[in-house]
Structure 1
Amino acid sequence: MPTDPSTPPVDAILLVSFGGPEGPDDVLPFLENVTRGKPVPRERLLAVAEHYQHFGGKSPINDHCRALIAALRVELDAHGVSLPMYWGNRNWHPLLPDTLRAMRADGVQRALAVFTSAFSSYSGCRQYQENVAAAQAEVGEGAPVVDKVRPFYNHPGFLGAVVERTREALATLNDDERGRAHLLFTAHSIPTAMAATCAYEAQLVSAAGMVARALDAASHEVVYQSRSGPPQVPWLEPDVCDHLEALAARGVGPVVVVPIGFLSDHVEVLWDLDEEARLAAERLGVRFVRAATVGTHPLFVSALRELIQEGLGQATPRVLGDAPALPARCPPGCCAYAPQRPARL
């Protein structure tokens, strides 16, 4: 999404997210959008559809986006940023092309986008930029220019919100359990070939370490969840459920799972952690507690406001740790990825 000094000033904020079904009838059309162009067997689609139907056919991600926009609106207004806000999704309504058309009709010329991903990767950043570019091409003449805020895995507000959510989970344990609690930071697995093109793993390890140190945790690790794709294509490991078995064998526990790679409690969190991982832990006799995602925690909402102000030239970047703030404009080839084989659910 290149820009140059001749582009107009930012006159809108755009939240860009994955999207999710709003009801039972939306589930299969949504999954077909997600897998379009990929040879995913129909039976696999139906199996994943059952995960959504388990929760009434509605993904919480949409309501999260609405709540986040509402909270961010209040935060921006309180700091004198009165730009209009829009929302567009990759895979379900409101779809990005429709949102850009509405923005064009409203006279928006240049927007600053916030992607619902804190970490750098093809699927979490570059692909969203490609989605925006494709939507701009579909809309055609007059489509708004779209810039983006920087990746924010090391922003103090994001990390502070993760710390507070984890502290809330630890508070459900007794004193002895808290002293022994093992933190398992989870994030969406990605193909190792994708991971080789970006700093995803390193950023996760860094962020998890800073959160664990802030809590004076006894021990912690980074694990992965929600892998998809054919088994012959390697993805990041260990898987959270597999790792619970290893922890049980070592007598480690209780376990506090911290979904640091996710911003909201959507279906992959609710199913893969609250259903599958929790049941695995119960079967293994491991005490299991899950921390909430950052959601609309005030520290996180404040962080997004700061990132927007950075993009407007109204704030200086803040970070925790030794790594600098990443640039908002990605260098050429950043997080480029060509899949070895078409991905599957």
Structure 2
Amino acid sequence: MNMGGPSKLTDVHDFLNRLFMDRDLLQLPFQSKLAPWIAKRRTPKIIKQYAEIGGGSPIGYWTALQGERMAAILDQTNPETAPHKPYIAFRYAAPLTETTLEQMQKDGVRRVVAFTQYPQYSCSTTGSSLNELYRQQRRLDPNGQFQWSVIDRWSTHPGLVKAFAERIQAKLDEYTPEERESAIILFSAHSLPMAVVNRGDTYPNEVAATAEAVMKRLNYSNAYRLVWQSKVGPLPWMGPQTDAAIEGLASQGHKNLILVPIAFTSDHIETLYELDLEYGELAHSLGVTGFKRAEALNDSPTFIAAMADLARQSLTARESPIGKQFTLRCPQCTNDQCAVTKDFFAKQNSAR
């Protein structure tokens, strides 16, 4: 499960419209009318951005590749649960959740692991995907053909941490010894509105936990900071924003910065356009001569092995792999759908 992205430019409007209509992500006044207006207004700008990274999002390609290689590992290491087949359920782009469930029904699938590709849980990402999965499951599978378990978060899984550390070390090795000593690592994650954070969303803590675990594996070799990107609109969001951090560090004379997309498991517009083009151009304009971006996890064998390990645990665990964090709603949660969704998947695990 992931947010997905438009595979071609003609898909951008529908992608944006679904995104702005999602009340798990945004709660707007008169949303049914305002969301289409915002989507239409932003479409030309976003089309231009996708055009600059090749005409569409690569997230579908990378997600399919990761799933296929994960399943191949599981077929070899866990023959008792074979054969394994990956299905993609994107929230805002094809293949959508309902389309995927329909295909799974046609294929006769019975046992399903709902595997979020957001390592750090947020109500606006994994929570939204699971709410949609629950709604479509109840509509399409009222008799319970599918038997579910859920991987809802995995922010400090050793394999994930190792994969990020390998990507960062590869960039550190590109510097001279003197440059490497002074390089600053900027862990950049998609920001959240403060209204979401203040109601108790666990995302900021989990992203910080990933960054800290990665730096521990790197033996705290460099100075580092956690920064936030992709703010939209006038309301307060988490900071410092990534571009503001680059500006501030440049003004202090720092020349060597490594951006790390710590909350993304593959390349998409936030890495290829925002980090590489927008922030890359900003850094160079400010005299940051040693600007680098750690490669996204994409086809990392370490990362895909971590995915297989998580899926294996979910398939074979005798006790529920869902932790207590999943069943606990945000202290200030106002979305009753979250309670229903959490209860359904928790009971599925207990019954299994």
Q: What's the offset of the Cα at 1:332?
A: 4.1
Matched residue SS, 1:68: helix
Find the counterpart in structure 1 of residue 140 from structure 2: 139
Find the counterpart in structure 2 of residue 40 from structure 1: 38
Find the counterpart in structure 1 of residue 49 from structure 2: 51
Q: Aligned in 2, Cα 1:146/1:45: closer, same or farther, shift over 3 Å?
A: farther
- Paired residues of 1:310 and 1:316 also in contact (CA < 8 A): no
Find the counterpart in structure 2 of residue 213 from structure 1: 216
Q: Larger % of helix: which?
A: 2
Q: What's the offset of the Cα at 1:305?
A: 1.3
Q: What's the offset of the Cα at 1:105?
A: 2.1
Q: Aligned in 2, Cα 1:128/1:187: closer, same or farther, shift over 3 Å?
A: same
Deviations 1:151-174 (A, max 9, x none): 111100000000000011111111
Structure 2 residue aligned with 1:253, among 238, 251, 255? 255
Counterpart code for 1:71: R
Q: Aligned in 2, Cα 1:335/1:58: closer, same or farther, shift over 3 Å?
A: farther
- Paired residues of 1:193 and 1:337 also in contact (CA < 8 A): no
Counterpart code for 1:74: A
Find the counterpart in structure 2 of residue 111 from structure 1: 112
Find the counterpart in structure 2 of residue 267 from structure 1: 269
Q: What's the offset of the Cα at 1:315?
A: 9.3
Q: Aligned in 2, Cα 1:34/1:336: closer, same or farther, shift over 3 Å?
A: farther
Regions of 4+ moved over 6 Å: none
Deviations 1:61-110 (A, max 9, x none): 01011111121122111212423322221112111111111112222234
Q: What's the offset of the Cα at 1:121?
A: 1.0
The whole-number CA distance in structure 2 between the counterparts of 1:336 and 1:307 is: 30
Q: What's the offset of the Cα at 1:224?
A: 0.5
- Paired residues of 2:20 and 2:39 also in contact (CA < 8 A): no
Q: What's the offset of the Cα at 1:334?
A: 4.4
TM-score normalised by the chain length of structure 2: 0.83
Q: Aligned in 2, Cα 1:335/1:62: closer, same or farther, shift over 3 Å?
A: farther
Equivalent runs, 1:1-345 vs 2, <5 Å: 16-36=1-21, 37=32, 38=35, 40=38, 42-80=40-78, 81-82=81-82, 83-142=84-143, 144-196=146-198, 197-215=200-218, 216-228=220-232, 230-231=233-234, 233-286=235-288, 287-314=290-317, 327=323, 330-334=326-330
- Paired residues of 1:119 and 1:153 also in contact (CA < 8 A): yes
Counterpart code for 1:194: V
Find the counterpart in structure 1 of residue 28 from structure 2: none
Matched residue SS, 2:316: coil
Gaps of 5+ in 2: 22-31, 336-352
Q: Aligned in 2, Cα 1:127/1:307: closer, same or farther, shift over 3 Å?
A: same
Matched residue SS, 2:87: strand
Q: How many percent of aligned residue pairs carry the same amino acid? A: 28
The whole-number CA distance in structure 2 between the counterparts of 1:315 and 1:299 is: 26
Counterpart code for 2:56: K
Gaps of 5+ in 1: 1-15, 318-324, 340-345
Matched residue SS, 1:308: helix
Q: Aligned in 2, Cα 1:132/1:35: closer, same or farther, shift over 3 Å?
A: same
- Paired residues of 1:159 and 1:211 also in contact (CA < 8 A): yes
- Paired residues of 1:161 and 1:297 also in contact (CA < 8 A): yes
Q: Which range is displaced more, 276-285 or 21-30? A: 21-30
The whole-number CA distance in structure 2 between the counterparts of 1:178 and 1:113 is: 40
RMSD of aligned Cα (Å) = 2.3
- Paired residues of 1:88 and 1:96 also in contact (CA < 8 A): yes
Q: Which range is displaced more, 103-112 or 251-260? A: 103-112
